[in-house]
């Protein structure tokens, strides 16, 4: 360990999972689209969600071609772009959140956004604003050497996706590169709410655990308290996105938007 490593504070994501382990609790990860309906609402929602039991907050950076997302999150990205949200504006919002809350923050981001800004410049700016990790949706791990070096130097967690179709040898390769937590996509396809929970989840989680000690978060399709309870039995954290984004879409113009969304999320976090 270098002197720099010894001086660097523990990443908030790592600290949160350590606290969860000590408390023998499962974590809750909430996703919202940044700038939906505007960045002032994103700040207010972030603070309310942190007070509603959310352990890690994922902020989706609006992008014009969100290929990994289903309709609900695509529309959120569209609303974010329409509200004038930019990466720079989002980082300013993260800095504002950070003055009031230590909730770990992950940016759910498409690589072209970082590439256009300049990879090092973006990563350094994200770290300075108070971001704790990045989930680069369309960056293949095999092409991520420079990205991972810059992330490690900045003290950010590199979070990677593993899918139901990922073969075990590639699970091992992805897990070796990850930090913070592994995000397991519980079903094939894009993001979105589902009525059922996939079968054989325990087997897939066991396959990942053979290759890493990192916490495993499961997402894609989880939308109600009963599903949260079922999924949490097999993993370290549950991710809910589209169901929360759908609440924002329904109540986006309401003056009490944060309270409405916070109440919905509280029902989910209490299921843990």
Catalytic one among 43, 55, 58, 236?
58
22 catalytically annotated: no
58 catalytically annotated: yes
Catalytic one among 14, 43, 55, 69?
69
Tell me how far apart the alpha carbons of residues 45 and 7 are, in angstroms, rounded to a whole number: 32
3-state SS of the chain? Answer: CCHHHHHCCCCHHHHHHHHHHHHCCCEEEEEEECCCCCHHHHHHHHHHHHHCCCCEEEEECCCCCCCCCCHHHHHHHHHHHHCCCCHHHHHHHHHHHHCCCCCCEEEEECHHHHHHHCHHHHHHHHHHHCCCEEEECCCCHHHCHHHHHHHHHHCCEECEEECCCCCHHHHHHHHHHCCCCEEEECCCCCCCCCCCCCCCHHHHHHHHHCCCCCCEEEECCCCCHHHHHHHHCCCCEEEECHHHHHHHHHHCCCCCHHHHHHHHHHHHHCCC
Could you list the active site residues? 58, 69
């Amino acid at each position: 360990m270098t002197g720099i490593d010894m001086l660097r504070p523990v990443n908030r994501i790592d600290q949160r999972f350590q606290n969860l382990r000590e408390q023998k609790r499962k974590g809750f990860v909430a996703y919202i689209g940044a700038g939906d309906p505007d960045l002032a609402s994103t700040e207010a929602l972030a603070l309310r969600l942190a007070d509603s039991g959310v352990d890690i907050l994922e902020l989706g950076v609006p992008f014009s071609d969100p290929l990994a997302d289903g309709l609900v999150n695509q529309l959120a990205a569209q609303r974010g772009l329409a509200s004038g949200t930019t990466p720079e504006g989002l980082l300013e919002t993260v800095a504002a959140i950070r003055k009031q809350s230590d909730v770990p923050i992950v940016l759910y981001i498409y690589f072209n956004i970082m590439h256009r800004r300049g990879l090092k410049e973006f990563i350094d700016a994200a770290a300075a604003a108070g971001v704790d990790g990045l989930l680069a949706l369309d960056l293949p791990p095999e092409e991520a050497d420079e990205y991972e070096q810059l992330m490690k130097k900045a003290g950010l967690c590199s979070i990677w996706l593993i899918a139901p179709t990922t073969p075990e040898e590639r699970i091992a390769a992805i897990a070796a590169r990850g930090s913070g937590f592994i995000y397991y996509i519980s079903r094939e396809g894009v993001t979105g709410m589902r009525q059922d929970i996939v079968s054989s989840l325990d087997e897939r989680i066991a396959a990942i655990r053979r290759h890493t000690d990192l916490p495993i978060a499961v997402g894609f399709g989880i939308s109600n308290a009963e599903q949260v309870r079922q999924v949490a039995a097999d993993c370290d954290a549950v991710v809910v996105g589209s169901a929360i984004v759908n609440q924002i879409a329904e109540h986006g113009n309401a003056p009490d938007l944060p309270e409405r969304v916070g109440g919905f999320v509280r029902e989910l976090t209490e299921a843990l």
